[in-house]
Each structure stands twice: as structure tokens, then as C-alpha cells.
Amino acid sequence: MIAVHPVLLIAIPLFFAFLLPLIGLFSKKVLKYVVTGTIALNTIIALLVFREALNSPIFDILGGFKPPLGIVLMVGPLGGFIALIINMAGLIISIYGMEMKKEPLVKYYMLSLLLLMGANGMVLTGDLFNLFVFLEVTSIASYGLAAYNKDLKGFEGALKYVILGSIGSTFVLIGIALIYSQLRTLNMLDIATRLNEMDPYVKIVAFTSLFLGFGVEAEMFPLNTWVPETYDGAPHSVSAMFASMSAKAGIFALARVIFTIFAFTNYLWFVVIMGVLTVFFGEIIAYAQRDIKRMLAYSSIGQMGMILMGLGIGTTMAVEGAFFQMFSHAMAKALLFIAAGYMIYATQTEKMSEMKGIGRNPLIGIPLLIGILSILGMPPFIGFYGKFYILMGGFSEGYYAIIALFLAASLVEVAYYARFIKIAFEGGGKRYPSPKATVYIPLLLFAVIIVIFGVYPKPIFEILSHVTTFLTGGV
Amino acid sequence: MKRILGGVIAVLIFIVLALAFVHIPFGNIDLAEYHYYNPVDNEHTQDSVPQHYLDEGKKETGSTNIVTAVVVDYRGFDTLGEVTVLFLASTGVGSIMYIFEKEKRRKVRRANAVVETASKLLFGFIILFGAYIFVHGHLTPGGGFPGGAVIASSFLLLYLAYPRFHAEHKNLNIAESLAGLTFVGVGILGLFLAGYFLYNFLPFGLPTYLFSAGVIPVIYVAVGVKVGSELTGIVDAMMGVRE
Amino acid sequence: MIPYYYLASVALIVIGIYIVIAKKNLIKIIIGLDMMDTGVNLLLISIGYVKGGTAPIENGNYTLYVDPIPQALVLTAIVIGVSVMALALSIVIGLYKNTGSLELDEIRRERK
């Protein structure tokens, strides 16, 4: 018997999302508290699920039919960890989301709850087709949220996202069709054990299709052209959600396709190359950006590429680094997007060159600095461990050329963030309105997490020691 | 330039996929040959998933229509996700079209008397037919989704015949929410009663009777109402403008 | 035997992809997306076909049925496709109201 059912992580947001329109009929003011309360409840459940998953993987059988006949949720330590990160980030972002003023608010809250639910489902499910369904839940919620501002920029970004997202989901379905036609099953572990019954060529095509399909959500080159415009056009809280929730769910789905389902060890070079291309594409173009949100979006692509590289190198160390990077990037990038939201609001412009002295207010400046340093991989913050472990992993595998490229990209990253820091802390700027509680509380919370686990990363490494089972096809 | 690129990519994908599908037999398959592996109990079985559904489906779910048994019972969680997707679509469309609601409706010509009268007459019958489809989802082809789509089409007819007609948004939202809550509620009830989310906890009854198959008809009625109100909501939002 | 059904559905998918890449009219692009969807659904349904099989609704006269799972999957995939289409179309309506055009080039020029 399971003490806490992981399915609650999906059922609770769904239930409240269906309930919100009814609540909205009576009072629109309580909506934001209901949403934050729901996500807080979800975070507590995620914590309980995660604690239980650390001991042994949880299989939550749905409908009472044993897999592969029914759908099963399977939560290992790593899945529980990612789910916890997603819910935690969602909780903190929802505090910032309370500030949202643009109507229709009910729909905004419904969409954001369902985005959380979809991301949770993508991380927890153990069934390939169910993964596709949750991928669609996540991406359709994202399409709606991306166009929420209802201006030209928002619509353009959303349209790009819809087009690439549909191509991605077509590829996922082709992959599923290929696998199903040869094995007549959809359960991930069932597929993994019977993989050798498949024709080798069909296997590679199926892998490539799934890889490309989930690559859209995971911001992989060349399917990531939607990222800058969508992040730029979306409301600020939504950009933070994309970076910390849906992108993380996407990359974890990708990791499970690579390791849990296919366990391809001799095609990992392909993943590394895609990762390096993604890093380069992101970082180089980020350098040329003048708008803060576009720069952050491209930087997000670069970071996702680093995670992909870590997964592709495939040693225990590198994959640990990749998971650490998922954690640090989710926290730091959400922080930066929220800070960017405040800065755009305070300066009335997106141009970085006009944000002189915005960081002089310590309530903004300190978290901003912490977030940027963590993204850059400076030692006392969590961003350091991810990058360091990926590098060391690559070093031990002899990917020297790749490491050189990685370091070069990191230098570019340092250059453009340093440029921004210089402007933000320069004297002689205007006086800006000081941030509201809904802005600085999330910023400080993220900053505290970044510092605490940066100074004391031991608990995270204990969780990540389960990477060894993950790499050998465990849950 | 784009055309050449598109052509090259398309041809490449076609070749790669066509070569893969040459390996896959069409029609000449024996469903019982694909023995599955149960990862929870860690055992290799002599059973195959589709064959198990065909042989045991009626016994295990009480539904005569095996596709319904798969959709609502064996893979009911997918259907919950699917309902969510439709809900998201109607929410998203409503959110996007929100700003245009205030605009003045453009001038439209009235439909002629034949169309108006006929649609008034047909409206009730179409709704009845839709309800029939989703109520009998566990016995005959069809189910909640086609039934809901049929119901939405009756509203579409009214929109076409009467340019000034519009469905009350509030009522659509309430129907949508209640139906969704029923679905999730049935799932959570199953969790409390039997320990499995979406467990079929009602008695199966006699196969081929209307009141059979446990929770399947309950879920399909909820899905039907939900799909009907959601698609109507989408149509309404797309018509957009309202005075 | 050459699997014509598979080739036809792959062709539909590929034509859809070509349209999405090559065309500049938003409505055409959405038609392309819909063709991709249709192709994949046709693909899934043909995978479940068993020679001589009938629809999986038990009635005593038949013993051979086709695979029920792909039919269930296609049902889900169709609904998802419809939802994506609805959202895509509403986004296009939004773009049209903002710019008065459905051509990608003109919309880009508008933004500059």
C-alpha cells in the first residue's frame, strides 16, 4: 500500500482548475489565494512523495489494472526530485502571479494550474502515450498563456510555439506508432525490457522521432526558434513558468526517453552534439541581444543545451551534473525572469541600456546578483556544481574538443551578463519605484534556496547518487 | 529558398519513415504473439495486451464495446488528460478572444425563413441524438466525445441561423466545471474506496444493458456534457463579438 | 507486399511538413498542421488492422477483432488535434485583428 498517492499531484490541481470558474462566479478576489493554496498543498504532497520515493520507487497503479494493461505512475528518486522542484518553483512564481492584473484573470489562473498539472504528469507518468497526453496538456496550456498579453508580440510568439509544438507532437506520435506496431505495448519499462524484439532500423527511427519531438519542449536546437519570441511576448510570470516548469519537464522526458526506454549507449554522441549546438546557438545569439527578456530566453536555451550535453556524455558524474543544472537553472532563471518583470515595469522599457542603476535597490540588486552569478557557475552558488560536474564528466570521457567549446560558450555568457551587471549597478540612474512584496518575496525565496544549497549541497548530492540506477535503466 | 529547403526536408523524412514502415506488417499480424512484461511484479507473461483486452475486457470492465473499455477504464487516465486538453483549448480560446468581445458586431444578413424554422425544429432532435450517443457509449460505437461534438453542432446550427443568438457563457462555464468535477470526483472516489485512482467501483450489471459497466456511463455522460459545452464555448468565442 | 496505407499516411505527414515550412499564409500553415495530424491518425489506425478482423464490439458472430488500443489512441489524438487547431485559429484571428493581414511577411513588416 502506498502512503501518499503521486496521482494526487495531478488530481488536485485538476480538481481546483475545474472549480475555479465556479469560485470566480462568487468572488474574483479569492482566486489568487486559492491558486497559491492549491500549489502549496501540491508542494507538500510532492515533498511526501519524494521522501517515500527515496526509499524505493513508487508504482501508483491507476484504474486497478496492472501495467502494461493499465496506466501506471512511476516515481523514482529523481522523478520525485524534479516534481518537487517544479512544484516549489510553481509555488514561488504563483506568489508573483498574484500581481497579475490583466483580465480574464480566471482563465490565467486556470491555465497556470493546468500547466503545473501537465508538467507534473510528464514527470510522473510511466506510460509512453500518457506522456504524450501530458506533453500536450503542458504545451496547450503554454500556447494559451503565451498569447495572454494579447498584443502583436504575444500572438507572434504563441503562433511560432504552436507550429513547432505541433510538429514536435507529430514526431512523438510517429515514434509511439513505430514502437507500438512492433511491441503492442505502451508501458515504458515493458518497452525497455523487450526492446531487442524490435527491428534495429525501426528502433533508431523511433528513437530519433521521440528525441526530436520532446526536443521542442526541451528547447533543443534546431527546434527552439520559438523560445525567444514566446518568452519575450508572454507575461513575465509566464516566462518564469516556462523556464522553470515546462522546460524542466521536457528535458526530464527526454532523459527518460534516452535512458529509461532506449538505454542507447552507443548513440549518445548524437545527444552531445545536439547539446553543444544548442549551447552555441543560445549563448552566441544572447550576446547580440539588446532586450533583457530576449537575452534571458537565449541564455535559457544555452543552459538547456548544457543539461543536454551532460545527459549525452552519459557518465554518472556528468548526468549528476545535468540534474544539478536542472535544479539550479529552474531556480535562477525563474528569479531572473521575475526580476526582469520588475525592471521592465519600473523602467517602462525592455532595453537593457536604459536600466541604469536599477540594481541599486538592495531588494532587487542582491537577488539579481545571486541569480546571475549562479547562472554563470560561480562557486558559492548552486550553479557551480552543475557546470563543474558536467565538465569533469566530459573530461573523464575524453570529450576535449567539446569541453573547449563549452568553456568558450561560458566565456561568452560571462561577457553578456557582466555587461548587464555593469549597467544595472551603475550610478547616476533615475529613481525607480521600489518593488512590492509580491515581487521581492519570491526573489528573496529563490535567492535563499540558491545560497543555502550552494553552501551546503550535500543533500542534493545524496539524492543524485541514485543517478547510477537511473543510468542502468532503473526508474 | 524556403521551398527548396521544405522540399528537401520533406523528401528526407519521407524516405526515412518509408524505410521504417516497410518493416511493419500490415494486417498480417497475430495480436496474441506479443507477450508483455509486467514491471510491477517483475514477471514475463504469456499474455498480450490487445488480446487480453479482447478476451477479458467484457469481464473486467462490463463494457461490451472494447474500445470504450480501453478509453474509459483501462486507459481512463489518458481520457482525463484528453478532457483537460479540450478544457484548456476552450479556456485558451476564451482568454485570447477576450479583448474582441467588446467590439461591435459586424452587420449580418438574416438567414431566410426555411433555415430559421428548420434549425429550430432540428435543434432538439440533434441534442437528443447526441445524448443518445454518449449514454450508449459502452454498448455501441461512439461515446462522450462524438456525442458532445454532435450537441455542439446543434448550437452551431443556431449560430448560423440566428446571427444574434449566443449561448450564455456563465451557464456553459458551470456545465463545463460540474462535468469536469464529476470526472475527477469519480477518480478520487475510486482512490478512497479501492486505493486506485479512477477505479471502476460501481457494480458492472448485465452486459449489453444500459445500466451496466459501472462508472463508464457516468464518466461518459460527464465527458459528453463537458465536450458539448466546451465546443459550444469555442464556437461562441470564435464568433467573438457580442453587444 | 508494399504497405500502401503506411506510405499514404507518411505522404500526408510529409506534405503537411512541406506546407508548414514553405508557405507564408497563416491559414495555409494551419491546414498543413491539420494534414500532419490526419496523417498520423491514419498511421495509428492502420497499425491496429488485423486481416479479416471486425470492430471490437462483442456480439457473438465474430471471433476475430482488430486491435482496440490504436482506436483508443486515435480518439485521444483527434481530440488533441482539434484543441490545437482551435487555439491556433484563435491566435491567427488575434494576429489578423492586430495587423489586418494573414501573410507572414506583412506581419513581420508591421512589427518593425
Interval A322-368: pLDDT, tens: 999 999 999 999 999 999 988 888 888 888 888 887 878 888 888 99
pLDDT at A164: 92
Determine the Cα–Cα distance for residues A79 and A74; give it in Å rounded to an integer. Answer: 8
Mutation test of the interface with chain A: which of B34, B77, B168, choosing the one with the most A Cβ atoms within 10 A? B77
pLDDT at A127 over 60: yes
For residue range A273-312, what is the model confidence (pLDDT) as tens digits?
Answer: 889 999 988 888 888 888 889 999 999 999 999 999 888 8
**What's the pLDDT at A48?**
92
A71 contacts on B by Cβ (under 8 Å) = 74-78
Does residue B106 surpass a pLDDT of 80?
no
Instruction: Give the pLDDT mean for C25-43.
Output: 92
Q: How confident is the model at residue B128 (pLDDT cuts 50, 70, 90)?
A: very high
Domain spans of chain B?
67-239
Q: Rounded CA gap, B9 and C22, in Å? A: 11
R_g of chain B, CA atoms, integer Å: 23
Q: Which residue has the higher pLDDT, A380 or C111?
A: A380
Q: Check pLDDT > 80 for residue A267.
A: no
- Residue B174 to chain A, least CA–CA distance (Å): 7
A116 pLDDT higher than 90: yes
- pLDDT at residue A245 is higher than 70: yes
C109: confidence class by pLDDT, cuts 50, 70, 90: confident
pLDDT, position C1: 58
Angle formed by the axes of helices B49-61 and C68-99, nearest 10°:
90
Which CATH number among 1.10.287.3510, 3.20.20.150, 3.50.50.60, 1.10.3720.10 corresponds to the domain C4-111?
1.10.287.3510
Tell me the pLDDT tens digit for each residue of A377-416.
Answer: 888 888 888 888 988 888 888 888 888 888 888 889 999 8
A267 or B232: whose pLDDT is higher? Answer: B232
**Mutating which of B49, B67, B68, B75 best tests the C interface, going by the most C Cβ atoms within 10 A?**
B67
Q: Is A169 on the interface with C (CB under 8 A)?
A: yes
Across chain B, what does the average pLDDT equal? Answer: 84
Beta bridge partners of A127: A187
pLDDT of residue A166: 92
Q: Tell me which chains share at least 3 CB pairs under 8 Å with chain A.
A: B, C
A240-270 in b/e form (b: 16+ CB < 10 A) is bbbbbbbbbbbbbbbbbbbbbbbebeeebeb
pLDDT of res. C28:
93
Convert the pLDDT of each residue in B133-143 to its tens digit. 888 877 778 78
Q: How many residues can be counted in chain B?
A: 243
- Mean pLDDT in residue range B44-68: 84
Helix (H) or strand (E) holding B45: strand B43-48
Mean pLDDT of all residues in B145-166: 86
Least confident of A82-96, A130-144, B211-225: B211-225
Cα-Cα-Cα-Cα torsion B191, B195, B196, B202, nearest 10 degrees, comes to: -70
- Report the residue of chain A nearest C28, measured CA to CA: A163
Q: What pLDDT shows up at residue A252?
A: 92
As for the ipTM of the complex, it is 0.93
Res B243: pLDDT: 36
- Given CB atoms, is B174 within the 8 Å cutoff of chain C? no
Beta-strand (E) ranges in A310-355? none
Q: Taking all residues of chain A, what is their mean pLDDT, rounded to a whole number?
A: 88
Determine, for residues A155 and C91 on separate chains, whether the beta-carbon distance falls below 8 Å. Answer: yes
Are A52 and A8 in contact, with CB atoms under 8 Å apart? no
Chain C 7-46, residues with CB within 8 Å of chain B CB atoms: 7, 10-11, 13-15, 17-22, 24, 46
Q: Tell me the C-alpha distance between B136 and B63, whole Å.
A: 10
Phi, psi of A148 (to 5 degrees): -65, -30
Interatomic CA distance for residues B110 and A430, integer angstroms: 59
Residue of chain A minimizing CA distance to B91: A107
Size of the A and B interface in Cβ pairs below 8 Å: 193
Question: What is the mean predicted confidence (pLDDT) over A116-133?
Answer: 92
Give dist(CA A231, CA A161) in Å, integer.
Answer: 10
Which of the other chains make 3 or more beta carbon contacts under 8 angstroms with chain B? A, C
Residue B159 scores a pLDDT above 80: yes
So what's the pLDDT on residue B99?
Answer: 66
The confidence score (pLDDT) of residue B108 equals 67
